[in-house]
Structure 1
Amino acid sequence: MTQVTGGEQYFTAQPTAQHEMHEFDFQLLGQELHFVTDAGVFSKRTIDFGSRTMLKAVDSQQLPIGKILDLGTGYGPVGIAMAKAWQREVDLVDINQRALSLAEQNAQRNGVSELVHIFQSDIYQQIDQKYAAILVNPPIRAGKTVVTSMLTEAKSHLIKHGKLIAVLQKKQGAPSAQKNMAAAFGNVKVIGKSKGYYVLESINAD
């Protein structure tokens, strides 16, 4: 799960890769969406299979009332799709400033600018509120420490009954992620599975 341009990873705060703009349309959550992407961001040519699998597994009617966090949003497909399809407020955060600039453009293209708030955060460092749900497709190549922090620190950023929903490949850490989420939340379940991808959900019972 990586997008490397000239050796540079997509989880770099300020990518320096030469620009290579790309545009495409894609249907998510029943919405025909329009995206612009660039070099130095994850999955720039299409929506990655993990994110698609995660969105398909989520039942929006089972989420508590409140704002949703799209952690590691990239150019915004997951958060934008949720905002448009569910008419929910969504915060889109990432460490990659280039990705966030694209997310701003994509929010405008898809008519959800009033529903989304886009800002830079290194994992949860700039997060100062609690959410009804946190969705994350962790950047595996960023390392185990980053991925584990995204999962185990989520609990303190969720309202009571709020949900952490994460997607990982079995061969890239889904079993250990399942253990970490169970340890942090006291519960975890698989809510979706496809082609080696597991969608995991934990609920903040506190």
Structure 2
Amino acid sequence: MKNIDKQANEQYFTAEPTAEHNYHHFDFELLGHQLYFQTDSGVFSKRTIDFGTRTMLEALSKTTIPEGKILDLGTGYGVVGIAVAKKFKRTVDMVDVNERALQLARVNAKKNNVADVTHIFQSDVYDNISEQYGLILVNPPIRAGKKVVTSMLQEAKLHLQPGGKLIAVLQKKQGAPSAQKNMAEAFGNAQVIHKDKGYYILESTR
């Protein structure tokens, strides 16, 4: 099991994970709603919702959510997109490079009754993104490397409507201060709106 999980963690940001299927199911309360998730090997944080994602979702109460569509960049099996669609009754685009994760996200959106307000499709970072959003949410895949993380943060401005926001979560020890500098470079502003156990929630506004 440990070898499978290690392989899964190494591949969650690839297009087609090769880890042997190992399905898992659990319920989790997020943003006041009890949600159901199906997961599998080859996706990030398959056994529970990771602390960084939970912290980012909790931090949404500390800011104003702009009008417009929401983009869940690097959705994995759909946690963030499903939670915000359920909470805010908003249209959410959920994208990931990982096809296995996207299949799970579709299953989970349907199970949680948000399939009608979610659009789930493959995109390597912003490659297949053509719209502008009111809010982009991202928990960057640190293991994918600095180039990918920086692209997710700095190119977000091109995909936000005026007044739109990028909100990202990173650990201090995994580069939150440099990520904040990258966001400030691109947007001209970047603030820490919440901290918890070494996780920083960063926000920039176009």
Normalising by structure 1, we get a TM-score of: 0.95
Q: 1:117 aligns with which of 102, 116, 119?
A: 119
Q: Distance in 2 between matches of 1:8 and 1:57?
A: 28
C-alpha deviation, 1:10, in angstroms: 0.6
Q: Distance in 2 between matches of 1:8 and 1:56?
A: 27
The CA deviation string for residues 94-147 of structure 1, in whole angstroms up to 9 with x for no partner, is 000000000000000000000100000000000000000000000000000000
Written as runs of structure 1 = structure 2, the 5 A alignment for 1:97-108 is: 97-108=99-110
Q: Distance in 2 between matches of 1:90 and 1:6?
A: 26
Q: Distance in 2 between matches of 1:101 and 1:60?
A: 32
Q: Distance in 2 between matches of 1:117 and 1:102?
A: 13
- Conservation of the 8 A alpha-carbon contact between 1:8 and 1:17: no
Comparing 61-70 with 101-110, greater Cα deviation is found at 61-70
Q: Distance in 1 between matches of 2:25 and 2:71?
A: 25
Structure 2 unaligned blocks of 5 or more:
none
The aligned counterpart of 1:34 is 36
Written as runs of structure 1 = structure 2, the 5 A alignment for 1:1-206 is: 4-5=6-7, 8-59=10-61, 62-204=64-206
C-alpha deviation, 1:64, in angstroms: 1.6
C-alpha deviation, 1:8, in angstroms: 4.0
Percent sequence identity over aligned pairs: 67
Aligned length, in residue pairs: 202
CA RMSD in angstroms comes to 1.3
Aligned to 1:14, the other structure's residue is in SS state coil
* Deviation >4 Å, runs of 4+: none
> Per residue, is there more helix in 1 or in 2?
2
